[in-house]
Amino acid sequence: MAYPTDDTGDAANTYARELVGFAAALRVLHVDRGSPSYREIAAAAGDAGRVSLSSSAISEALSGKRLPSMDFTLELIRQLAGSDQEIREQWRERWKRVKLHQRQATTYRRQSQSRSENGQRPLKDAPDGFQDALSAARLEAERIIKSAQEEAEAIIESARIQADEMTQSATQMLLDATERGTMPGAIRQRLRENSRIALVGPPGSGKGTQAPFLGKLLGTPVLSLGDLFRTNIRDATKLGVQAKGYIDRGKLVPDEVTLGMVAARLEDPDTQHGFILDGIPRNLDQARVLDELLATTSEQIDAALTFDVGQDESFRRIVGRRVCKQDSSHVAHITYTPPQKPGICDVCGGPLYTRADDTRRVIAMRWDVWKAQSASVVQKYGAEGRLVTVSGTGSVSDVTRRAISALNAYFG
């Protein structure tokens, strides 16, 4: 008589491995998403009102304790990867495969139990070695799950340590360069006299992070496009009212309005000896108009500084970003600069949230737009001999040092 023991062991072992792989893939997606807290994911799902995702259920799914339902899985994927239909279908098929192995394991187990209850050879009397093999399979599955959990925790912990080191190193660098005067005066003076700099590059390359550091080191104001919009809208200037009208209608703000704000800001006294542009120009037309604007006072963009990063790194930086609802200039990062209290801004205590456009799908679209419109701006400055390129990977302070060194060599 044939016993289903081998089939039972194979099915159980295969299901355990498939479930481990499924959970491990979820954890990778979770870390890649910026490791949002389970509470954040659950709250976002609750706001969407489709499927309830409790923190405990998310924990069980990511730890491989059980296979969640398909609806639960798809909603979790939606929260982690956006509404990309192709990604959802891939996970749907992955879930079906694991579910099939689960059913097979359950069927064989029930057959084995039925044999025992009907007086047939019970599972404990199965051929020698089966119990050992089944136990070994379970231990191996548990080992894989534990290893995957430890790996994910190590990644997050390493990122947090790196974030602390980055912050401390960058802060120390600023103290050395400004208060202790470790930056040679001649270099600082030369850069300051020629610091009409435009930061250009793809989304997530670090322009917004580097701008304030470079501004402090060079002693020049930073003109951020986001700040210009917020200030003009807050003060209800003519251009601010026009911009708000376009934004409220879901339309792009025309270049003439954007550059009008830039022109008005450049009339302020603090910009007369230099400035740093963050987010401008975004296309060739803006770059040309900006050249014409500066030419009226015999000035120009002295250097366009670009930070070279890959698209994958850009995704990791952006999807983990959290913005304060009370002040959008206060930004944290779940992995690199996590807030002391989850979901709470360290600066003002306001609630942190994920911007609607900080999803993988939107970021991919922004990269497409950058390649279609903004990459030509980098090419323009390069062709004119005004482009300075540095690697954007590594700690904040390392990138800042590279930038200062490259600018010094450029202006030298």
Annotated catalytic residue 282:
yes
Q: What is the pLDDT of residue 127?
A: 47
| Catalytic-role residue among 190, 282, 361, 386 | 282
Please name the residue that has the structure tokens 């390649």. 371
Annotated catalytic residue 190:
no
Annotated catalytic residue 88:
no
Q: What is the pLDDT of residue 218?
A: 82
Domain 183-320+358-411 in CATH 3.20.20.190 = no
* CA gap 193, 287 in Å, rounded: 22
| Catalytic-role residue among 207, 316, 360, 401 | 207
Annotated catalytic residue 355:
yes
| Nearest Cα to Cα of residue 350 among 338, 341, 362 | 341
Q: What is the pLDDT of residue 124?
A: 44
> What's the pTM?
0.54
What amino acid is encoded at 160 in this protein?
Answer: R
Per-residue pLDDT tens for 10-21? 777 788 888 888
| Catalytic-role residue among 321, 380, 401, 402 | 321
Annotated catalytic residue 234:
no
Output the tens digit of pLDDT for each of the chain's 412 residues: 333 344 556 777 788 888 888 888 888 777 766 677 888 888 888 887 888 888 888 888 888 888 999 999 998 988 887 777 778 888 888 898 888 888 888 887 777 776 666 655 544 444 445 455 556 666 666 666 666 666 655 555 555 555 555 555 554 555 455 444 445 554 555 565 658 999 998 888 888 888 888 888 888 899 988 889 888 998 999 999 998 888 877 777 888 999 999 999 999 988 888 899 998 898 899 999 999 999 988 889 999 999 988 877 777 778 788 888 887 767 887 777 788 888 888 888 888 888 777 777 777 887 888 888 888 899 999 999 999 999 988 777 788 888 888 888 888 6
| Structural domain spans, the chain | 5-157, 183-320+358-411
Secondary structure E strands in 234-299 = 275-278
Work out the number of other CB atoms within 10 angstroms of the CB of residue 96: 10
Dig out the tokens for 152 from the structure.
């994910």
| Catalytic-role residue among 366, 380, 401, 402 | 366
| Catalytic-role residue among 39, 325, 355, 371 | 355
